[in-house]
């Protein structure tokens, strides 16, 4: 049976122990249990200055921003201003893709659930002005789709900028202001913001690469906001999650979101072929979804500027756990800490970290060999000298040069799932998953992005 009482002193000691063991400079932890948010902190925000982390310190939370943007979108659905199943071009006539049919049919529901086919890695800097999302959407019109809309799940940040622009058009506010007025203020989130200059008021974490502070605090353009930039304390993320657990009602009784919208966000829209990244075997409207031996949960992860965020929510136990970190072996800290916390507080058993089996199965590699391409990347699957499989993952076109190519051997986990020993998301092994789109095209998933086979 789960323990309902949160022992703050014991968990503070455990956070300190695990953070040090995994060489994480700083970590803040917020736990929603027994109806209360408990906040802990450990370590230093910046190894160069030695500033200590405190529970109200703020971190870059990366893609956790998608859950906030999705909540704003669902508020628009509540108000009757947006139909999730109507084409996006009905609200944004300027929205376009290189495929005219896709342009006419892509919906907000598809963008929320990553089934619209739009890509992830379009890092366009459209400036610092209030028109940055409008300019980004205009520039995105020439970016190739990963796959035809509705044929597969493929994680795509570009779609969340489009959703952020929909928010702007329907509210008459910038995405940043809409988030402040429609979520941060009614929820009392005083340590949540979207712009770097706003973070200067608070104790702010610096990302670290190895043992050294990163060269730049935040490299993302302003247009990345809807998919990749909220700056938050762990406690504020837990309070945001609590609103979703409480059927859309803030702590002071204010209704922020309808109960129907809250439920819709947690309803499975699509299964994910990659069931390991973000602990997500499926996707709702903005949320990652998982089923751990019959225990349902939702959440999201994020990464930005060498900082990592994790949110896991177990509705049946009324538990949410948030971890914000700024470097080191954050993935092992997350795995060790959350496995213990969720077992004790929610009777939830997290799966083991992704890794190859001790005795890999024999797999016919022939149909998997070849090149797979999506906007900005090429994935090549070949045989190595011993007859096993090898992967080369490289950035091309507009993304050429942002990182060197990654190569690794592939160890079979099943006939369609392989373990690559290159590091994506801090894990020792990354899943490489082969699947087929609804139109019959073979594809490969790396980091949850679908790349169709081209040769």
Catalytic residues: 63
| C-alpha span between 152 and 440 (Å, rounded) | 11
| C-alpha span between 310 and 336 (Å, rounded) | 13
Tell me the three-class secondary structure of 98-134, residue by residue: CCHHHHHHCEHHHHHCCCCCCCCCCCCCCCCCCCHHH
| C-alpha span between 159 and 117 (Å, rounded) | 9
DSSP run (H or E) holding 292: strand 288-292
Token pair in block for residue 364: 């016919």
| C-alpha span between 35 and 69 (Å, rounded) | 25
Cβ(196)–Cβ(217) under 8 Å?
yes
| C-alpha span between 393 and 403 (Å, rounded) | 10
| C-alpha span between 154 and 375 (Å, rounded) | 12
Identify any residues that bridge with 390 across adjacent strands, giving them in sequence order. Answer: 382, 409
| C-alpha span between 179 and 117 (Å, rounded) | 26
Cβ density class 371-381: b for 16+ within 10 Å, e for less = ebbbbbbbbbb
Q: In which residue are the tokens 């309902």 written?
A: 4
């Amino acid at each position: 049976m789960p323990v309902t009482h949160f022992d703050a002193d014991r968990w503070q000691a455990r956070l300190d122990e695990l953070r040090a063991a995994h060489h994480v400079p700083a970590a803040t932890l917020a736990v929603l249990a027994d109806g209360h948010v408990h906040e802990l902190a450990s370590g230093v925000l910046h190894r160069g200055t030695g500033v200590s982390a405190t529970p109200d310190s703020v971190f870059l939370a990366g893609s956790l921003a998608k859950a906030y943007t999705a909540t704003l979108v669902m508020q628009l659905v509540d108000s009757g201003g947006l139909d999730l199943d109507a084409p996006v071009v009905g609200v944004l006539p300027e929205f376009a893709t290189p495929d005219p049919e896709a342009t006419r049919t892509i919906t907000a529901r598809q963008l929320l659930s990553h089934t619209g086919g739009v890509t992830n890695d379009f890092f366009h800097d459209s400036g610092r002005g209030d028109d940055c999302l409008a300019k980004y959407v205009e520039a995105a019109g020439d970016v190739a789709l990963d796959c035809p809309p509705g044929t597969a799940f493929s994680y795509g940040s570009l779609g969340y900028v489009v959703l952020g622009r929909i928010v702007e058009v329907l509210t008459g506010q910038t995405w940043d202001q809409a988030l402040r007025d429609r979520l941060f203020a009614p929820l009392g989130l005083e340590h949540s913001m979207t712009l770097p200059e706003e973070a200067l008021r608070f104790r702010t974490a610096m990302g670290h690469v190895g043992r050294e502070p990163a060269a730049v605090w935040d490299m993302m353009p302003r247009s990345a906001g809807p998919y990749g930039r909220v700056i938050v304390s762990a406690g504020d993320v837990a309070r945001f999650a609590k609103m979703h657990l409480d059927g859309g009602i803030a702590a002071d009784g204010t209704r922020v979101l309808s109960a129907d919208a809250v439920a819709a966000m947690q309803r499975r829209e699509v299964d994910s072929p990659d069931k390991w990244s973000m602990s997500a075997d499926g996707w709702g409207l903005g949320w990652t979804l998982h089923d751990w031996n019959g225990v349902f949960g939702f959440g999201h992860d994020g990464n930005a500027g060498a900082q990592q965020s994790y949110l896991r929510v177990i509705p049946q136990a009324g538990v949410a756990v948030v971890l914000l970190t700024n470097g080191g072996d954050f993935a092992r800290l997350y795995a060790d800490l959350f496995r213990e916390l969720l077992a004790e507080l929610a009777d939830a058993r997290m799966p083991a970290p992704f890794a190859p089996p001790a005795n890999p199965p024999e797999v016919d590699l022939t149909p998997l060999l070849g090149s797979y391409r999506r906007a900005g990347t090429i994935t090549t699957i070949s045989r190595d000298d011993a007859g096993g499989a090898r992967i080369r993952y490289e950035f091309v076109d507009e993304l050429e040069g942002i990182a060197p190519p990654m190569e690794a051997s592939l160890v079979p986990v099943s006939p369609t799932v392989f373990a690559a020993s290159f590091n994506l998301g801090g894990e020792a092994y990354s899943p490489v998953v082969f699947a087929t789109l609804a139109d019959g095209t073979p594809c490969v998933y790396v980091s949850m992005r679908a790349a169709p086979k081209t040769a």
